[in-house]
Chain A
Amino acid sequence: MPAVRVGLVGCGFSANLHIEGYKQLPPERCQVVAVCGVPQSDAEAFAAEHGIPAAFGSMEEMLAGAEVDAVDLAVPNHLHAPFIIAAAKAGKHVFCEKPLTGYFGGPETAEDELIGKTVPKRQMLEATQRRVDAVMNAIASAGVKFGYAENWVYAPAFAKLWRLAKAAGGTILRIEAEESHSGSHADYAKRWRTSGGGSLMVKGSHPLGAALQLKWWEGEARSGKPIRAESVVCEVGNLTWVESFKQEQQHYVRTGWQDVEDWGIIVVKFEDGSAAEVKAADVTLGGVHNYLEAYLSNARIRANLNPNDSCVAYAPDGDIFEPEYISEKIETKGGWTFPSPDEDWHQGYPQEIADFVSAIVEDRQPVSGAVLAREVTLVLYAAYVSAEEGRRVSLKPILGR
């Protein structure tokens, strides 16, 4: 089979992560043949930096002007759905950054409206369900592959955890998982209009995706039928709005959250009676804290995506290790640190890209695909409904069976 030709849509942070993944694949396997972005000059600069032969100002122009087999959507969240639908209609396979989609306001919503405060979450969930359906229909009717870029599913420590769990064969009774750090720098993450949610959406989607995948796999391994989420109970909060915090002179965690939560916890109950506690926060010091722990009936396994003690360092002053990288979002390089030898690898980015490309070559769906993308999105919005309405939300009518 000839090399898979990829067109990158977007040239920002995610595009940079993905291009490193593509570069690790041999050219006879996969080639990034074009990139598009706004403004086009950004795409051209990105193309020049990474040796990509063509650059365009829009996905439409790229699909008309370059032969691509798959598009990789590394664009803001609110653009995922329309771009997936357009790419699928053009017969292209799609790789999409998480989350699949969300609620970002209606066509008439004012740019600066704080929809996180004004729009009922139930309404958001219903709008999101319709959008998810549209995306799923577009993918299904075009018969294209859909890669959901949930890197946790591919992270080596998580992959190992699953292999151990499978080998142990015990029941996964309880899962604890979390992604937290001291807060996103980007302004777009602080408003629902652009982010589609707060900590749970932007961070929690990772541990949630891994937890749902784990129970899915467990069911398939045990009975050939996935174990699915049955209900959700959720709490969210804005810990940086606490009065005494506001009065502090210096803030080490990010502030300025407008209408999205900076902390949240989802308790998922599965149809087999097991539970998962999924946490996400933008108020956690000490660098990105990503882990998943599985409590089985006959074993206990923890995947420390970050930090882990592969490398342990100490410096009496914060500037001593400059300019060497330590790990994502660590506030100081002083004291004991856990520098990540290769953060992309530990987080599963190159492994994810390799699977997406293999899926096309081997004519199968990727390990992390449309099914997981859909479940994560709907469970998240159902969780927001639960938090707002203060009650458990049954997932059966939302997810279908």
Chain B
Amino acid sequence: MAKVRVGLVGHGNAARLHAPAFRKLGTERCALVAVCGRSRERAAAFAQEHGISQAFGTMDKMLSQVEVDVVDLVVPNHVHAPLAIDAAKAGKHIICEKHLTGYFGEPDAPEDELIGKTVPKAKMLDRVVEQCDAIGRALSGAGVTFCYAENWVYAPSFVKLRRLADAAGGAIMRVQAEESHSGSPSVYAKQWRTAGGGSLVLKGSHPVGAVLQLKQWEGQKKSGRPIRPASVTCEVGNLTWMESVEQEEKHYIKTDWRDVEDWGHMVLRFDDGSVAEIAAGDTTLGGVHNYLEAHLSNARIRANINPNDSCVAYAPSPDIFGDEYITEKIETKGGWTLPSPEEHWNQGYPQEIADFVAAIAEGREPISGFDLARDVTLVLYAAYVSAEEGRRVDLSPILAGPGLER
């Protein structure tokens, strides 16, 4: 099998997650040959730190000067779509962090406009449908593989859940799933202009992705046809804007959400009559809370991605464990804790990268590919429409679009 040559686009947190996962695959399988970023100096520093031989200031320069098979887009959400289209046109396979794309304002909107308050969600949805179609056309035209970095799909406890569900064979009647924590510290997450949405987009996209993949896979297994989401009903809110919360002297959860929700809940109905309840919050104490529970007709299975009790610890005071990591976003290291032995593995990061490299080498679709990326994006924005308009939104006309030509 040919070696897959990877060019990293971006050098932030996501790049730091991906780089070791590529290296783990071995140099015969995969090589990180270049990195680019808006700051060439920082890209060069990243390259040096990670043993990558070349660094560039833009993706264009990287693609014109280095032979790469695949670009890994580990950049802010609003540049995913243009970079993915450029990369496809250059004939490169694409690995793209979630989300695929979103609505980030019109090109001429002022940087500080609170578009989450001013732009109707139905208009946002229209724009996002157009963007998804544009990306889909670029991919189809170039015949390249698109890998959607939805790590939940690869998380070992979710994979086990899917295998158990397969073995049990019962109908998946109801799914509950959630990703929550006590709030993103970054400023960009607090404004629609840069984030493309609130809790539902930034956190909820994970459980939505896992739920859609699970039902799609169930349908393929049972009838050779994916089970598709049929409608969505959604509520969003800003719980940190509550009067009594604002009056509290000390906040343990993050505040200052500007025009995005800090809590959301959607109910999906599928075309087989099953349902999914998906929650996302930036107001949940106790560390990242990631789980998916499937209620089958003949079984019940829960994947505790985080926390789970692989390791259980107690400390009478929070400084006792010093610098040792406990788990993402835990507020205190005191009391009973559930430390994550290897968070990346539990979250499916190395497994996701391994599948992407294998898919590209073998010329097949990855388990998490463009169809899932597109469905997640459209379902999320349809959910926002539902919340704003206070009504159930029919998904079939929205999801019916062209998709990938194969």
List residues of chain A with CB under 8 Å of any chain B CB. 25-29, 156-157, 159-161, 163-164, 166-170, 298-304, 308-317, 320-324, 339-342, 345-346
Nearest CB in chain B: distance from A329 CB, A:
17
Interface residue B107 (Cβ < 8 Å from any Cβ of A): no
Interface residue B401 (Cβ < 8 Å from any Cβ of A): no
Contact between B167 and A324 (Cβ–Cβ < 8 Å)? Answer: yes
* Given A28-B27, A157-B341, A159-B341; A341-B159 close (CB under 8 Å): yes
Contact with A along B332-347 (1 / 0, CB 8 A): 0000000111100110
Contact between B321 and A164 (Cβ–Cβ < 8 Å)? Answer: yes
* Given A160-B341, A312-B304, A316-B298; A301-B311 close (CB under 8 Å): yes
Contact between B301 and A299 (Cβ–Cβ < 8 Å)? Answer: no
Q: Which of B14-55 contact A (CB under 8 A)?
A: 25-29
Contact between A312 and B301 (Cβ–Cβ < 8 Å)? Answer: yes
A-chain residues with CB within 8 Å of residue B323 when the two chains form the complex: 167
Interface residue B160 (Cβ < 8 Å from any Cβ of A): yes
Contact between B322 and A311 (Cβ–Cβ < 8 Å)? Answer: no
* Given A298-B316, A320-B298; A310-B308 close (CB under 8 Å): yes
Contact between A302 and B311 (Cβ–Cβ < 8 Å)? Answer: yes
Contact between A304 and B311 (Cβ–Cβ < 8 Å)? Answer: yes
- Considering only CB atoms, which chain A residue lies closest to B300 in the complex? A314
- Considering only CB atoms, which chain A residue lies closest to B336 in the complex? A300
Contact between A27 and B157 (Cβ–Cβ < 8 Å)? Answer: no
Known: A28-B27, A298-B317, A308-B308. 7 other contacts (CB 8 A): A26-B26, A26-B27, A156-B342, A304-B310, A310-B303, A311-B304, A342-B156
B-chain residues with CB within 8 Å of residue A298 when the two chains form the complex: 315-317, 320
Contact between A312 and B320 (Cβ–Cβ < 8 Å)? Answer: no
- Considering only CB atoms, which chain A residue lies closest to B314 in the complex? A300
| Cross-chain pairs A/B with CB under 8 angstroms, 24 sampled | A26-B26, A26-B29, A27-B28, A28-B26, A157-B311, A160-B310, A160-B340, A160-B342, A164-B324, A298-B316, A299-B315, A300-B314, A302-B312, A308-B308, A310-B310, A311-B161, A315-B298, A320-B170, A321-B164, A321-B299, A339-B301, A341-B156, A341-B157, A345-B345
- 3 closest Cβ pairs, A-B complex: A26-B26, A324-B167, A167-B324
Given the complex of chains A and B, what is the CA–CA distance between A170 and B156 in angstroms? Answer: 33
Given the complex of chains A and B, what is the CA–CA distance between A168 and B166 in angstroms? Answer: 43
Contact between A313 and B164 (Cβ–Cβ < 8 Å)? Answer: yes
* Given A166-B324, A316-B298, A324-B164; A27-B341 close (CB under 8 Å): no
Interface residue B78 (Cβ < 8 Å from any Cβ of A): no
Nearest CB in chain A: distance from B250 CB, A:
26
* Central interface residue in A159, A309, A345, by most chain B CB within 10 Å: A309
Interface residue B5 (Cβ < 8 Å from any Cβ of A): no
Contact between B321 and A311 (Cβ–Cβ < 8 Å)? Answer: no
Given the complex of chains A and B, what is the CA–CA distance between A311 and B301 in angstroms? Answer: 7
Nearest CB in chain A: distance from B279 CB, A:
18
Nearest CB in chain B: distance from A86 CB, A:
32
- Considering only CB atoms, which chain B residue lies closest to A306 in the complex? B310
Nearest CB in chain B: distance from A294 CB, A:
9
Pick the contact of B156: A25, A169, A300, A310 (CB < 8 A).
A310
Interface residue B90 (Cβ < 8 Å from any Cβ of A): no
Nearest CB in chain B: distance from A260 CB, A:
32
- Considering only CB atoms, which chain A residue lies closest to B334 in the complex? A299
Given the complex of chains A and B, what is the CA–CA distance between A156 and B301 in angstroms? Answer: 23
Interface residue B163 (Cβ < 8 Å from any Cβ of A): yes
* Given A157-B341, A168-B320, A310-B157; A315-B299 close (CB under 8 Å): yes
Given the complex of chains A and B, what is the CA–CA distance between A169 and B169 in angstroms? Answer: 49
Given the complex of chains A and B, what is the CA–CA distance between A315 and B300 in angstroms? Answer: 6
A-chain residues with CB within 8 Å of residue B303 when the two chains form the complex: 310-311
Contact between B313 and A302 (Cβ–Cβ < 8 Å)? Answer: yes
Contact between A339 and B160 (Cβ–Cβ < 8 Å)? Answer: yes
Given the complex of chains A and B, what is the CA–CA distance between A316 and B324 in angstroms? Answer: 41
A-chain residues with CB within 8 Å of residue B166 when the two chains form the complex: 324
Q: Which of B61-88 contact A (CB under 8 A)?
A: none
Nearest CB in chain B: distance from A336 CB, A:
9
B-chain residues with CB within 8 Å of residue A322 when the two chains form the complex: 167
Given the complex of chains A and B, what is the CA–CA distance between A157 and B307 in angstroms? Answer: 13
Nearest CB in chain A: distance from B102 CB, A:
31
- Considering only CB atoms, which chain B residue lies closest to A291 in the complex? B312
